[in-house]
Structure 1
Amino acid sequence: MPGVRTLEEVLDHDGPLAEGPLREVAAGIADALARVHAIGLVHGRLRADQVLLTPYGPRVTGFAGRADTDDGGDPSEDVYAFGTLITLAGGGASCGELGPLLRRCLDPDPGRRPTAVDVDRVLTPRPAVLTVPAGVDDSADVPQEARAEDPPTGRGLTRRRLLVGGGFALTAATVTSAGVAFARYAGDGRSGPGVRWRRSVEGRVTTLQVFDNVAYCTTTDNVVMAVGTETGVALWTARTESMVWSQPVVSGTAMFLACVAGQVTALDPSSGERLWQQHAGDRILGAPVLYGSSLVVGTRDDRVVGIDMTQGAQSWQWSAGTPHGGVMPAVSETGGDLLYLTHSDGTVGAIRDDRGEPRWSTRLDAPIARPARAMGDLVYVVSGFTLVALSVSTGEVRWRFQGAPDMTVPVVTENLVYTTDVGALYALDARTGRERWRQPVGARVPSPVALVDGTAYAGGTDTLYAFDPVTGGRHWRHGLPTYLTAAPAGAGKVLLLGTAGSELVALET
């Protein structure tokens, strides 16, 4: 990839990093470790040659793919390797303000080291800011000192630092002062959305969706929250035993959540009250899906578990019998009786009904870290940096599209498939995989595409873009202080965003 060097190459050629770039590289690595640890895996061999410094920020490669219960699969060892690497990258000295954090990472006692999520939280300041529309009394929910001024108009701020001696621009993904108001980051001066409201949340937003004018979000701090889309007022807040990293299923009667540590929980969507909870396994991978009368989840030990949606009792389970490193289920968006399974080792398969009748199995070239998407007669899977379309009836590969690192789960329509990676948003012909159009977005951490009311939204490192989904023409762009951590979600003319600054933002589109 043009403009990409490894951290090892930069250190060998240019010497230690200055404090600012060092912090930004550390933040990117910590974010990657937090994400992989959240799904029960570890890196296992973090070194300077495994960190790519790209125009979109640092990327971590070379994951060993070991589960955190495997021999040598302790997440605390990744944290120790992180501390060693960043100390080396900083010249082996005190590393300035990072020194205390790095000393904790290098604690000889693994039990006293911070988790990757803890490190990530320290390196990405979170603005404690909330504004609500005029006339809304949210005083019980919003401390007066946390209210922000009205957003000024004008060009938004962009933050780019040149990596000293590195020869390329490294985009910052953090705000240097936790008190900076989001309202200071307006659009780029073109006609675009205004900020309707915004509110801080505990932890980074991991999932976001809208149902009947209520926004439901989950965060890295094990928080589940329901917020009114028009006002930003919290309707209720609940907590889970562990992080929810994958999209919950929301219906009129229940909100089903799969926690990474193995709990499946049903909440009342109107109150947040727990209806039931079931332990499905040691680790849950991917998102829960509705399949017949069951809520289905996949586990790290390759079990597919069906749970009764009313009572929460386990009703059936299925396993291929051969270890594949974990399994994630998916169902077709256009109906059907097949359950599509993606495995961490690159295997894709389909089974029929709760008896687990196998229909087909195909092994792809690269590991799979995300669930499939199925529509019509094709199932779409991200394998490594490639989007692959397979026949739903036979598993035969119909087409492949080569992308770049961090390709996201596709959004599928009848005619087009949309996906993002570190460089661009792509629209592909659903039948052939031929590229219809692409638009550069330059995301340090790509957010999945969102299609809301006839507009395609994609997040860049510090910008939200809105595109015509058919032609790819850009409607507008809106400046952000940091990147998105979940796909945008919409209700009417309100678009909801979850940012790495630990806040929810509502735009008037």
Structure 2
Amino acid sequence: MVGPLEEGDPRRVGRYRVLGRLGAGGMGVVYLGRSPAGAAVAVKLVHAEFAADPAFRARFAREVAVARTVGGAFTAPVIDADPHAPSPWLVTAYLPGLSLAEAVAGDGPLPAASVFALGASLAEALVAVHRAGIVHRDLKPSNVMLAPDGPRLIDFGIAHAADAAALTRTGGVMGSPGFLAPEQARGGKTSTASDVFSLGAVLAFAAAGEGPFGTGDVVALLYKVVHDEPRLDGVADPELRGLLAACMDKDPARRPTPQELLERFVPRAPAPEVLHGTGWLPEPVARRVADRTLALPSRSRRKVLAVGGVAGAGTLVAAVTGAVLLEGSGGRKAAARTTASPTPSAPPSPVLAQARWTVDLGADPYGGLASAGTTLVVSAEEGRLICLDVRRRKTVWQHRKGNRGDGAASWRTPVVADGTLFVGWPDAPGALYAFDVRNGDQRWSATMTDALNPAVSGGTLFVGDTGALSALSTSDGRVLWRASIGNALNATPAIGDGLVYAGTSDGASSGGTANALHALDARTGRDRWRHPMTRGAQSPAVSGGMVYCADGAGTMTALDARTGAKKWDFVGGRTASDPFMSGGLVYVADGDGKVYALDAATGRTRWTWPTGTGTGVWTAGIARGVVVVAAVSEVFGLDAAGGRPLWRTGQLDKVRTVAVQDDAVYVGIQAGTLLAFPVKGA
């Protein structure tokens, strides 16, 4: 887990911002950091006692240079380093999840199938490390991470650099007693075979719940490693027990190589795509990995905004996230019917997209993002409203209102239409503002209880608050009508064919008028029809004479836009995003990490693609035949017609907001960075 920074800890190391402590050890302190582009990284800062040793610095520089060449699917790559800094440092990819030590301590030994899977992964990792000319020297349960995308071996690349310095200074042993090889315990020469011994000890720990030499003080453990045979009676599987015994042979020459181990582990390991997730782990451990991944610092929900795609909604449609459960039912079900190719068993590997540019906003863009032409407006924390010219990547203007001091966004979700920015301010008295998007000049303001998710059509602005839906003139903010339909604050209205559709919710499972999708005359505000929802209506989408809306109990419903008659229901995974419409298809994503394309007329599934994130994803928009979806810390581009994965951004900081326009995808992340990706991924 990430701990708070202590007095004396740095706030920046090199170009990396330091956010919290991940741990400390004999080599130094490990921090959670952020790269300039907002990627989460592990920053390892070497202790001053090593930094004062010129021999250490020279060796550290050589070892890091080699470590940066290490590839492999099951290692944490070295990203950056400075061996010449006053305190040398090393940066690797940050892997959220659990260490093997934490997993076994919390849920007990792993079953044999999981240990074979882990053995195959770590053997492959050692093949990559050894191929680069590195001996790990400190392979132990805390250096094995169980991450959402598979197990990883960490902390190679600096152990050798510290080896000579530690032995010369203290006469001690580099490594972890109980998991190091006998030759290391004697202070002798280490080799790749030493890592194999440690691998056997780590896998024995995973299978039995304790190390093969038990516990005790350092001297006792070192004696056992040198003189005693490993205890493997807790390893029930005979084949596994034999492999581990071979790994921990006292004679390095008799131990198998990592490649030989890989060939022995693979036949009883799951398919490769399973290893690149958490499906190989027992369910309780997989759940803890997912929980730990989602537990990274996050202040509230993210907002996902899209340009275009809904008839009559102006130049920008705000598809604000509101994750909903997809477990309920009602009416004609569409979940089980498919008309296209079967769902793939595992996500293919899309191309890694490269950001065209990044901009440091200096603030968490929690409040949302509005895109129009070459202008991008960001609502960020502490009341900051920032307007950017995306061609020059320069700030055109910015406002700062108040100083709330709690890190939360002050301005509500922005929306741009016809050269005007509309955005709400929540503090009492609440207000809705209109700004000239060119220069930031205020055009008008109107008092509102709150104004979270506005939508624009023609010369009318529709916005919900805690008690009603209101229509205002976009030219002067004059209220045209106000309909008391209940709490319409959390759903973005949709407009089409002279009607405005608004979802209301009281947060309870009562159904009825408090939880419903309402259709009102867009000119007068008069009720046309109302469809009860089990637990509140989310943001609807309207197209082709149909309106689509998900409720908080888990069902997405398709209704006749004029009459409110139900056409079909769809039940997917645990949760779902608000629906997004384009080209006769409804796109929706769920909390299990899957994206669906549904036939808009029938609800039949055209295609499904599992992102492999294991967490909720949100539909963000579509442009040039590419559907863009956002996950907790990654964004994907899929072929809209067939669901083929085209690109992914790779791990980012917490994704706060996404806007899609023409050929660009703009991503705002918690670290205060805005990134621009090509919509085609290249």
TM bin, normalised by shorter chain, reads: 0.5 to 0.7
Which residues of 2 match residues 305-320 of structure 1 at below 5 A? 305-320=470-485
Q: What residue identity is the alignment partner of 2:529?
A: W
Counterparts of 2:636 and 2:375 in 1: how far apart (Å)?
Answer: 23
> Relative to total residues, which structure has the larger helix share, 1 or 2?
2
Task: Note if 1:387 corresponds to 2:556.
Answer: yes
Instruction: Give the Å deviation of 1:428.
Output: 0.9
CA change 1:482–1:326 in 2 (3 A) is: closer
C-alpha offsets along residues 125-166 of structure 1, whole Å, 9 cap, x if unaligned?
8848369xxxxxxxxxxxxxxxxxxxx998884623226324
| Counterpart among 506, 510, 518 of residue 349 in structure 1 | 518
Which residues of 2 match residues 230-245 of structure 1 at below 5 A? 230-240=391-401, 243=409
Which residues of 2 match residues 257-406 of structure 1 at below 5 A? 257-261=423-427, 262-281=430-449, 283-285=450-452, 287-291=453-457, 293-301=459-467, 303-320=468-485, 323=486, 328=491, 330-332=493-495, 335-345=496-506, 346-368=515-537, 370-384=538-552, 385-406=554-575
Counterparts of 2:633 and 2:490 in 1: how far apart (Å)?
Answer: 33
Task: Tell me if the contact between 2:493 and 2:500 (Cα under 8 Å) persists in the aligned partners.
Answer: yes
Instruction: Give the Å deviation of 1:98.
Output: 9.3
**2:590 match:** 421
Secondary structure of 1:471's match?
coil
**1:167 match:** 285
CA change 1:265–1:445 in 2 (3 A) is: farther
| Counterpart among 409, 416, 423 of residue 250 in structure 1 | 416
C-alpha offsets along residues 234-258 of structure 1, whole Å, 9 cap, x if unaligned?
2221235684676433123311113
Counterparts of 1:310 and 1:121 in 2: how far apart (Å)?
Answer: 48
C-alpha offsets along residues 99-123 of structure 1, whole Å, 9 cap, x if unaligned?
99xxxxxxxxxxxxxxxxxxx9999
**2:604 match:** 434
Counterparts of 1:406 and 1:200 in 2: how far apart (Å)?
Answer: 32
How many residue pairs match? The answer is 357
Counterparts of 2:462 and 2:20 in 1: how far apart (Å)?
Answer: 32
Q: What residue identity is the alignment partner of 2:581?
A: V
Task: Tell me if the contact between 1:220 and 1:244 (Cα under 8 Å) persists in the aligned partners.
Answer: yes
Instruction: Give the Å deviation of 1:443.
Output: 6.0
Which aligned runs of 4 or more in structure 1 are off by greater than 6 angstroms?
120-126, 152-156
The structure number with the bigger radius of gyration is: 2
Task: Note if 1:196 corresponds to 2:356.
Answer: yes
Instruction: Give the Å deviation of 1:199.
Output: 2.1
CA change 1:126–1:219 in 2 (3 A) is: farther
Counterparts of 2:439 and 2:548 in 1: how far apart (Å)?
Answer: 36
CA change 1:121–1:269 in 2 (3 A) is: farther
Task: Tell me if the contact between 2:519 and 2:528 (Cα under 8 Å) persists in the aligned partners.
Answer: yes
Q: What residue identity is the alignment partner of 1:330?
A: P
Task: Tell me if the contact between 1:213 and 1:228 (Cα under 8 Å) persists in the aligned partners.
Answer: yes
CA change 1:317–1:246 in 2 (3 A) is: same
Task: Note if 1:479 corresponds to 2:650.
Answer: yes
Counterparts of 1:228 and 1:468 in 2: how far apart (Å)?
Answer: 29
Instruction: Give the Å deviation of 1:328.
Output: 4.5
Counterparts of 1:122 and 1:380 in 2: how far apart (Å)?
Answer: 45
**1:408 match:** 577
Counterparts of 1:160 and 1:121 in 2: how far apart (Å)?
Answer: 14
Counterparts of 1:330 and 1:371 in 2: how far apart (Å)?
Answer: 6
| Counterpart among 615, 618, 628 of residue 457 in structure 1 | 628
C-alpha offsets along residues 159-195 of structure 1, whole Å, 9 cap, x if unaligned?
232263241123635889xxxxxxxxxxx99744322
Task: Tell me if the contact between 2:494 and 2:539 (Cα under 8 Å) persists in the aligned partners.
Answer: no
Counterparts of 1:358 and 1:190 in 2: how far apart (Å)?
Answer: 47
Task: Note if 1:225 corresponds to 2:386.
Answer: yes
Q: What residue identity is the alignment partner of 1:284?
A: A
Instruction: Give the Å deviation of 1:309.
Output: 1.5
Task: Tell me if the contact between 2:659 and 2:666 (Cα under 8 Å) persists in the aligned partners.
Answer: yes
Counterparts of 2:574 and 2:382 in 1: how far apart (Å)?
Answer: 27
CA change 1:338–1:461 in 2 (3 A) is: closer
CA change 1:204–1:248 in 2 (3 A) is: closer
Task: Note if 1:214 corresponds to 2:375.
Answer: yes
Q: What residue identity is the alignment partner of 1:426?
A: Y
Task: Tell me if the contact between 2:576 and 2:616 (Cα under 8 Å) persists in the aligned partners.
Answer: no
Instruction: Give the Å deviation of 1:405.
Output: 4.2
Task: Note if 1:129 corresponds to 2:36.
Answer: yes
Task: Tell me if the contact between 1:224 and 1:237 (Cα under 8 Å) persists in the aligned partners.
Answer: yes
Counterparts of 2:523 and 2:399 in 1: how far apart (Å)?
Answer: 32
CA change 1:98–1:393 in 2 (3 A) is: farther
C-alpha offsets along residues 298-336 of structure 1, whole Å, 9 cap, x if unaligned?
1102x222222122232322224xx5575746233xx41
Q: What residue identity is the alignment partner of 1:464?
A: V
Q: What residue identity is the alignment partner of 2:666?
A: L
Q: What residue identity is the alignment partner of 2:374?
A: N
Q: What residue identity is the alignment partner of 2:600?
A: A
Counterparts of 1:210 and 1:444 in 2: how far apart (Å)?
Answer: 27
CA change 1:211–1:398 in 2 (3 A) is: same
Counterparts of 1:325 and 1:457 in 2: how far apart (Å)?
Answer: 27
Secondary structure of 1:172's match?
helix
Secondary structure of 1:284's match?
coil
Task: Report the identity percentage.
Answer: 22
Q: CA RMSD in A?
A: 3.6
Task: Tell me if the contact between 1:129 and 1:199 (Cα under 8 Å) persists in the aligned partners.
Answer: no
CA change 1:364–1:434 in 2 (3 A) is: same
> Relative to total residues, which structure has the larger strand share, 1 or 2?
1
What 5-or-longer segments of structure 1 have no aligned partner? 1-19, 24-95, 101-119, 132-151, 177-187
Counterparts of 1:260 and 1:433 in 2: how far apart (Å)?
Answer: 38
